[in-house]
Chains A and B, each alone.
Chain A
Amino acid sequence: MKLYSENEIVDAVVIGTGAGGAPLLSRLAKAGLKVVALEAGEHWEPSKDFATDEVSQAKLFWTDERLSAGEDPLHFGNNNSGIGVGGSTLHYTAYVPRPQPDDFHLYSDFGVGVNWPIGYNDLEKYFDEIEQFLGVSGPADYLWGAKHKSSYPLPPLPLNGAAQLMKRGCDKLNIKTSPAANAALSAPYFQKDIGWRAACTNRGFCQAGCTIGAKANMDVTYIPLAVYHGSEVRSKSFVTEFELNNSDNISAVVYSFNGKMQRQKCKNVFLCAGAIETPRLLLINNIANSSGEVGKNFMAHTGMQVWGQFEEDIRPYKGIPGGLISEDTHRPKDADFAGGYLLQSIGVMPVTYASQVARARGLWGEALLQCMRGYNHTAGINILGDCLPYPNNYLELSDEMDSRGLPKPRIYFSIEENERRLNIHAEKILREIWSAAGADDIWSYNRNAHTIGTCRMGNDQQKAVVNSEGKSFDIPNLFIADNSVFPSALSANPALTIMALSLRIADCFLDKMKHR
């Protein structure tokens, strides 16, 4: 790996190496720029460092404490945020459906939420590019949304028990299903400048990290590409401060490495620390917030899960957890709410499941043990749906300090009428599917997932933090590219769109540079 000196004024510092940071890192490096990524977490070697064990793999989660407030306080940690080179993609399930074109203009269609300043067409070529690069496995013809210009490079992954049951239930109810697009390899895959990656071995522990590099986390895809093109990736480097020069540009980024404060001089900064840490850093430094919108418009996908037990042996620890999808509920005809949702089957790891049984069902004693003795017969489906931005849902700095002496963030989250109606609609369908598939002991877990919003992109600098190219309205050399810039939640899993935005933001930047 190429190394840069801290005194060298590099072209760009990229903060965070998840779905937002890694793709643009590779793009800028490929264009010949001198780029350094600063990542708070470790650079793991999965084949040596990872075990098939949920508790020890908790090292992949962001564990600095967040205070969870509001009527529907969110569970962070393993439900939401990762740390390490690769960010949250280290433990994502790798469902990568594309958003649909109408996801980008909820306001025009329903009069609520907001429109994006860009649309599906602006991102389409990036979806194509990323799917080919990651080696997405998926059906030859996808049933919903805009027709793809190129089909998925690999055939779908095999369906596990939960996916087969969801198909059985949906078939009976005439709900169309399809094997999902999943960024894990159904066959070995070769990438120029990276080499071969192995096919998925059906371990079912994607959320505890992939030991063989089959799942397209950033650490086995865009990060090696970036390093190949000459980028430096500095792990264990926790950014705390920005130094500004007279013309209100950032001139250096300050970070702690092994307890020592260091600073990297730079011409540009790409902030990609995720939808909690990005606004937190800006608020701590009190920058880029003339709109007052930093930390506002926090969203989390509606993510209701419905669980059931079946006569069949399922063994939920086997097979890629993200197997089957339906988008028939994208804009349901009988909906009394704005937006919509999709349906996905879920495999589940035992400790994660047990913890949910404890928190959501409150079972203990013999009732808990008995429920868990049915683990091998358990399968789940979940939705992933819209969540509108509300003034009451936001992030602020609390006055409680963490071990680094930085204020802990407090996040307010409450769902409102639109989400409640969507959940009622979804729960009914999910329960029907599970009944039709033959489940008993059906129960629902009403949860929200993913951290979205807080540094909205938009055309109006009074109402947005960055423009449609990810550039700060206040600080000319600051760009934001991660889940925080989403103006609305989109009824699709976020990672693919974050990566597409990341590449687009890099391309817009490079284009402007050329014309300067």
Chain B
Amino acid sequence: MRNDFYPPGSVRALLNTDSVTPQTRDILNGRLQKKEIINPCFFNKEMFVTLRHICERLIPQPNRLHKVDLPGFLDEMLFKGEGNGWRYNQMPPDNEAFIKGMQGIEETSKLMFDAPFILLDITNQDKVLHSIQKDLAPGKTWQTIPSNLFFEELLAQLVEIYYSHPQAKEEIGEVAMADANGWQKIGLNELEPREPKALNK
């Protein structure tokens, strides 16, 4: 597996150039400038705190001054109720699934380690999450919603939020947005000057 690291700031530097269309710039700037959500609209406060801890495990962002506000984006999305066109038949509708799922995580955490999720150390937090992902988690909640499907849904939503954010794009050296004038060099190992190069190369 490659493990490339790219310089931070690459996408932000490109955003105000004519390599990015105004529509694309507006959307990415909107995401960059979005204020962190403190008071959730969809989750209750307690769940929201738990969600923050879960996000830290699923998509860690330890060395960042400004983290991508994963719980905030998710809360907003669920509050708006924008669906993605389908759900697994065994799953309840999204709004119900996410509330139940969060309750399920607390339940499993208490059954496995006798404490709420946020008080577990990260090793045990990961054990809880793994058991949920593998459909092995204890708890009554999971009789009404399959824990593995909930986990898949939660993870997929967070990942989509994360990798649509300019900071995450910088992390993986992706500058697809700089295409206002198209790309000429598209073959193997062919880079255009505006594409960031990996630091470890």
Chain A residues packing against B (C-beta within 8 Å)? 48-56, 58, 61-69, 73-78, 80-81, 158-161, 164-165, 200-205, 211, 309, 312-315, 317-319, 349-351, 354-355, 357-359, 362, 364-366, 368-377, 410, 440-441
- Bound CA span A53–B183, Å: 16
Contact assessment for B85 and A62 in the assembled complex, using a CB-CB cutoff below 8 Å? yes
List 19 interface pairs A-B (beta carbons < 8 Å), by A numbering.
A51-B27, A52-B24, A65-B93, A66-B87, A74-B86, A80-B85, A160-B187, A165-B188, A202-B184, A205-B176, A313-B190, A313-B191, A317-B179, A350-B174, A351-B160, A354-B162, A368-B58, A373-B3, A376-B174
Distance in Å: Cβ of A325 to nearest Cβ of chain B = 18
Q: Is B133 an interface residue (CB 8 A)?
A: yes
Asked, given contacts A349-B176, A351-B164, whether A373 binds B24 with beta carbons under 8 Å apart, the answer is no
A350-B163, A364-B155, A370-B1 are contacts. A67–B86 as well, Cβ < 8 Å?
yes
By a CB distance below 8 angstroms, the chain B residues around A375 are 172-174
Please indicate which of the listed interface residues B5, B85, B174 has the most CB atoms of chain A within 10 Å of its own CB. Answer: B85
Contact B28 A362 (CB under 8 A): no
With A159-B187, A313-B191, A365-B58 already in contact, the answer to whether A201 and B179 are too (CB < 8 A) is yes
Complex CA–CA separation, A62 to B84 (angstroms): 8
Q: Hey, which chain A residues are within 8 Å of B26, CB to CB?
A: 51
Evaluate whether A53 and B164 lie within 8 angstroms (CB atoms) in the complex, with A350-B176, A373-B3 already known: yes
Which residues of B (49-100) have their CB < 8 Å from a CB of A? 57-60, 82-90, 93
| Separation of A211 and B20 alpha carbons in the complex (Å) | 13
B162 to chain A: closest residue by CB: A354
Task: Tell me if A364 and B89 are in contact (CB < 8 A).
Answer: no
A211-B21, A313-B191, A369-B60 given as contacts; is B183 within 8 A of A81 (CB)? no
Q: B142-185 toward A: CB 8 Å interface, digit per residue (1/0)?
A: 00000000001001100111111000010111111101011111
A362 CB contact (under 8 Å) in B3, B84, B133, B172: B133
Q: Which of the four size classes fits the interface of chain B?
A: 35 or more
From residue 6 to 59 of chain B, which have CB atoms closer than 8 A to chain A? Answer: 20-21, 23-24, 26-28, 57-59
Task: Give the residue of A53, A73, A358 whose beta carbon is less than 8 angstroms from that of B156.
Answer: A358
Chain A residue nearest to B25 (CB atoms) is A51
- Chain A residues, CB < 8 A from B59: 364-365, 368-369
Question: Are the CB atoms of A49 and B23 closer together than 8 Å?
Answer: yes
Closest to B175 in A: A317
A355 to B172, CA, bound (A): 15
Contact B84 A63 (CB under 8 A): yes
Residues of A with C-beta under 8 A to B57? 364-365
Quick one: given A73-B89, A376-B4, are A204 and B159 in contact (CB under 8 Å)?
no
Name the distance in Å between B180's Cβ and chain A's nearest Cβ: 8
Closest B residue by C-beta to A200: B182
Establish whether residues B155 and A77, one from each chain, have CB atoms under 8 Å apart when the complex forms: no
Contact A374 B3 (CB under 8 A): yes
With CB as the reference atom, state the residue of chain B lying closest to A378. Answer: B2
A50 is contacted by which of B23, B126, B174, B182 (Cβ under 8 Å)?
A: B23
Q: Bound complex: CA of A366 vs CA of B171, how far in Å? A: 13
In the complex, the answer to whether A158 meets B187 with C-beta atoms within 8 Å is yes
| Chain B residues within 8 Å of A158, by CB | 186-187
Q: Which of B2, B126, B169 contacts A377 (CB 8 A)?
A: B2
CB-defined contacts of A362 to chain B, threshold 8 Å = 133, 152, 155
> In the complex, what distance in Å separates the CA atom of A350 from the CA atom of B20?
17
User: Who on chain A is nearest to B23 by CB?
Assistant: A51
Give every chain A residue within 8 A of B83 (Cβ-Cβ). 63-65
- Residues from chain B with Cβ under 8 Å of A165 in the complex: 188
A366 to B60, CA, bound (A): 7
Q: How far apart sit A58 and B133, CA to CA, in the bound complex (Å)?
A: 27
| Most chain B C-beta atoms within 10 Å of own C-beta, residue among A318, A349, A375, A441 | A318
